[in-house]
Amino acid sequence: MQLGAFLSSQPILTLFGVIALGYAVGEIAIAGFSLGVGAVLFVGLGVGAIAPEAAPPAMLSTVGLVLFFYGIGIQYGKPFVAGLISPDGQRQNLIAMVSVLGGGLLAALLTAQLAIPAATMAGIFAGALVNTATLQSVTEKVGGELPAVGYGVAYPLGVLAPILAIYFAQKILRPQVKAPEPRGVMEIEVVVNQSAAIGQPLSAVISQMPPEVQIVAVRQDGHNRMPRGNLKLRAGDDVLLVGEGKPLAEAKRLLGEEIAGKIILDHRDLDDLDIYVSKPAVIGRRLGELNLSEHPRCSIISVQRGDAVMYPHPGLVLESGDRVWAVAEREQFKTVRDFFGNSARSTAEVSYLSLGLGMVLGVLFGLIPFPLPGLGTFSFGAAGGAMIVSLILGWLGRTGQLNWSIPPSANLTLRNFGLTLFLAVVGMRSAQQFFTTLQQTGLLLVGLGLAITLAVVGVALGLGVALRLPYDELLGIVAGVTGNPAILAYASASVPTNKPELGYAIVFPTSTIIKIVAVQVLLVLFAGDI
């Protein structure tokens, strides 16, 4: 009792204690399975039962969730839009949509047959599919603690069941997933001996090369030179190319034959340097727009964003915090650094003007009532609205002078803090109602959540197998519709490719939107039972 009184008298200390202890518990692995950040919710439930008066205001949970989903949308905006317009992405989103709607239909049938309060069932649906934006949209509409109680009861198996489903699917299907060939920035030097290139200005040669391949430097008369457009190639010149696979081989055939490195070993005229992208005038711009060979007179070898190393093709959009590997004349180093900004702080800095404005737009969008024919209206809520708007902003990247992108490290910190804050507050606020409900009808609610989870996962796996989708692509869909990062981590570890991450990026936003719509329909259908 004394501990409870102390925690209740120190709500800020208690909140951060829940976060710290939750992360510690989340790192405990049993047979390779751990709750991860989800453990914060359960620690919050335990602490909330001991010290109910320490529960923070509900608005804090909304702020945390808006931060989380805004960061998700900014990061996944481009792959999400690409997925909407590509045949593979459309197929993945269709499977996700059908599977989530199947889970929503099952939830509606169970609500009608078992007379479960609609608010509780909506929370169970959100927990079974591990989607906090769905829970938040329900809480905003109906209030009270019942949605959070349903969420907390269904959440554990909402994480565990999909992981077990992936495990057994792998045992049954025994898929053969080949590891992709290693990729990296490849540099080769080619001696010019093809008539199609000899005597031609470099601009004409570049126009015939694949856009995925870049000329970094040209060696003439024993000196390394920048690849300016008016430079004419001569027989015997050496050209340093950056690219990969077939495009690189095609560019090599256009120019001549591969030779041992001479340009790379000679640093008298040109040298390489690393620069951070931090200047607002450069952020959000495509490399092809910058005319780098003329000003600031440099060539780009690669661009590193987070852990990913990307080729410097003309369509690549620079983002704040990118690390550029460039080649330039030594006397141009300062000009090159000034051109890009070169502030290491940019890897962790956020434009609070863009962040604040983007969130305002997202929250306003979440307030808009959308009609459901014959059922009334629904809104996406603050978090759902923030995610939808941030997907659009993440896709745009830049609007006039406003840069919407967030450096990967800063984005990850923002998202993790927001999600952690949300889970801690929700757990502490719903503890009393949670344990009361668990004692009365706990096993029933757990069973209902498990049924919804298995239905969604089963439909996704069944459709994927029926359509003969590659197994690693199918795992991305399963991870996306179920949502929890622990599920994605397990799926990614199951195959030697990055398709689960790509599928998650394409499917997760769509499935979240469908989940929000599904629970809103459920609440409208059973408005009298809330």
Nearest by Cα to 245 from 311, 299, 293: 311
Quick check: 39 and 25 in contact, CB under 8 A? yes
**pLDDT given at position 392:** 92
**pLDDT given at position 256:** 92
In terms of domains, do 193 and 93 share one? no
In terms of domains, do 15 and 48 share one? yes
In terms of domains, do 20 and 75 share one? no
Displacement of CA 252 from its chain's centroid (Å): 36
In terms of domains, do 112 and 13 share one? no
Q: What average pLDDT does this structure show over 497-516?
A: 83
**pLDDT given at position 423:** 82
In this prediction, residue 284 has a pLDDT band, given cuts at 50, 70 and 90, of confident
| 96 has a pLDDT exceeding 90 | yes
Quick check: 51 and 371 in contact, CB under 8 A? no
Burial code (b: 16+ CB inside 10 Å, e: under 16) for 395-409 equals bbbbeeeebbbbbbe
Range with the lowest mean pLDDT among 91-95, 117-121, 139-143, 520-524? Answer: 139-143
Q: What average pLDDT does this structure show over 5-24?
A: 91
Instruction: Name every residue whose Cβ is closer than 8 Å to that of residue 341 and which is 6 or more positions away in sequence.
Output: 275, 276, 277, 278, 279, 282
Expressed in angstroms, the distance from the first to the final Cα of the chain is 35
Q: What digits encode the pLDDT tens for the residues 169-225?
A: 888 888 887 776 655 568 889 999 998 899 999 889 988 998 888 888 999 998 999
Higher pLDDT among residues 102 and 366, named by residue: 102
Instruction: Name every residue whose Cβ is closer than 8 Å to that of residue 142 and which is 6 or more positions away in sequence.
Output: 118, 119, 122, 523, 530
| 79 has a pLDDT exceeding 90 | no
In terms of domains, do 157 and 295 share one? no
Proportion of the chain above pLDDT 70, given as a percent: 95
| 296 has a pLDDT exceeding 80 | yes
Domain-ending residue, one of 27, 55, 83: 55
Domain-ending residue, one of 291, 313, 347: 347
Backbone angles phi, psi at 99, to 5 degrees: -70, -40
Q: What average pLDDT does this structure show over 163-168?
A: 88
In terms of domains, do 108 and 48 share one? no
In terms of domains, do 46 and 142 share one? no
Q: How far apart are CA 339 and CA 282, in angstroms?
A: 8
**pLDDT given at position 233:** 92
Domain-ending residue, one of 300, 326, 347: 347
Domain count, the chain: 3
The number of C-alpha atoms within 13 Å of 80 and in the hemisphere containing its C-beta is 25
In terms of domains, do 316 and 373 share one? no
Is 352 contained in some domain? no
Higher pLDDT among residues 334 and 263, named by residue: 334
Helical axes 471-482 vs 499-525, angle rounded to 10°: 40
In terms of domains, do 330 and 243 share one? yes
In terms of domains, do 66 and 165 share one? yes
Return the ∠ at Cα 168 (arms to 165 and 174), rounded to 5°: 125
Is 202 contained in some domain? yes
Nearest by Cα to 471 from 505, 489, 494: 494
In this prediction, residue 530 has a pLDDT band, given cuts at 50, 70 and 90, of low
In terms of domains, do 430 and 459 share one? yes
Q: What digits encode the pLDDT tens for the residues 32-45?
A: 666 677 788 889 88
In this prediction, residue 528 has a pLDDT band, given cuts at 50, 70 and 90, of low
Q: What digits encode the pLDDT tens for the residues 396-428?
A: 888 888 889 888 888 888 888 988 898 888 888
Nearest by Cα to 80 from 505, 523, 452: 505
In this prediction, residue 326 has a pLDDT band, given cuts at 50, 70 and 90, of very high
CATH at 278: 3.30.70.1450
In this prediction, residue 430 has a pLDDT band, given cuts at 50, 70 and 90, of confident
In this prediction, residue 372 has a pLDDT band, given cuts at 50, 70 and 90, of low
Residue 280, preceding peptide bond in cis (omega within 30° of 0):
no
**pLDDT given at position 1:** 54
Structure tokens at 104: 């929503």
Q: How far apart are CA 209 and CA 190, in angstroms?
A: 14
Q: How far is CA 283 from CA 7, 277, 307, in A?
A: 46, 7, 19
Quick check: 135 and 518 in contact, CB under 8 A? no
Q: What digits encode the pLDDT tens for the residues 378-399?
A: 677 787 788 889 989 999 888 8
Nearest by Cα to 494 from 478, 481, 515, 509: 478
Q: What average pLDDT does this structure show over 78-107?
A: 90
**pLDDT given at position 378:** 67
Give me the chain's average pLDDT, please: 86
Quick check: 125 and 519 in contact, CB under 8 A? yes
Structure tokens at 340: 């890009």
Residue 296, preceding peptide bond in cis (omega within 30° of 0):
yes
**pLDDT given at position 184:** 58
**pLDDT given at position 107:** 95
Radius of gyration of the chain (CA): 27
Quick check: 201 and 176 in contact, CB under 8 A? no
Is 150 contained in some domain? yes
Q: Three-state DSSP class for 239? A: strand
Quick check: 317 and 285 in contact, CB under 8 A? yes
Give residue 306's domain range. 186-347
Is 79 contained in some domain? yes
Q: What average pLDDT does this structure show over 343-371?
A: 86
Q: How far apart are CA 5 and CA 31, in angstroms?
A: 37
In terms of domains, do 427 and 513 share one? yes
**pLDDT given at position 456:** 96
